[in-house]
Amino acid sequence: EPEVTQTPSHQVTQMGQEVILRCVPISNHLYFYWYRQILGQKVEFLVSFYNNEISEKSEIFDDQFSVERPDGSNFTLKIRSTKLEDSAMYFCASTSTELGNQPQHFGDGTRLSIL
Amino acid sequence: AQKVTQAQTEISVVEKEDVTLDCVYETRDTTYYLFWYKQPPSGELVFLIRRNSFDEQNEISGRYSWNFQKSTSSFNFTITASQVVDSAVYFCALREDSSYKLIFGSGTRLLVRP
């Protein structure tokens, strides 16, 4: 079964550094999403992306965050200047259409630790 | 405002017992979609089931069944004959037709003891 893959599985970064989290969505999917989960808490929506544009973003997704589809397969989340509170598990997801009944398929996540 | 509430923070059962996980949601949209996801100890999020707001029937899929009650805004999930491998955190999620985002509840940790 096709999968969303995320790399790296664990990223350790010094506070203030830039970090890029990478995702390869399912190959025929066109809609992409990032979520984060602070340890022990609920999963929170960050951003959705389609046709090289952000289609929706949350209040968490401020100017420190950006997303990009640099080529035909990758989808990245960049955090420009990391803070301690950015430590979390970051999940990428994808769907083939924008229809609401399509389940979002998640990758295994990247655990980001800010020191 | 949209919201998903999972009042049960943790449930512990003995293997082979049936267990029901509760979910209550709030939305102003008339069309919306409800999902259950499983997060095992390894951390990934696994899609289990979905429901459209306009589907009247409740369903069974293997050991999983769900009860959608629009009148009480509830979407409860039942595992029949639980197994140790069912131990995980279970998240209920809502997606409104007007939005791309999934709104997750805080999760219910299920422990199935042998």
Tens digit of each residue's pLDDT (9 = 90 or more) over A63-112: 999 999 988 789 999 999 999 999 999 999 999 988 888 899 999 999 99
Query: B69: which strand partners?
Result: B74
Q: Pick from A44, A8, A45: which is nearest to A24 by CA?
A: A8
pLDDT bin (cut points 50, 70, 90) of residue B95 is: very high
- Residues A33 and A25: beta-carbon distance below 8 Å: no
Contacts with A89 from chain B: Cβ below 8 Å: 43
Give me the mean pLDDT over the A22-51 stretch.
Answer: 94
CA gap A101, A49 in Å, rounded: 17
Q: Is A14 exposed, middle or buried (0-12, 13-18, 19+ CB in 10 A)?
A: exposed
Q: Is the peptide bond before A8 cis (omega within 30 degrees of 0)?
A: yes
CA atoms within 13 A on the CB side of A62: 7
Q: Using the beta-carbon criterion (under 8 Å), do B106 and A42 form an inter-chain contact?
A: yes
Of B35, B44, B104, the CB nearest to A42: B104
Q: Which sign, positive or negative, has the C-alpha torsion B66, B67, B68, B73? A: negative
The size of chain A, in residues, is: 115
* Higher pLDDT pick, B113 / B60: B113
Alpha carbons B90 and A1: distance in angstroms, whole number? 22
The pLDDT of residue B56 is 67
Min Cα–Cα distance to chain B from A95, Å:
10
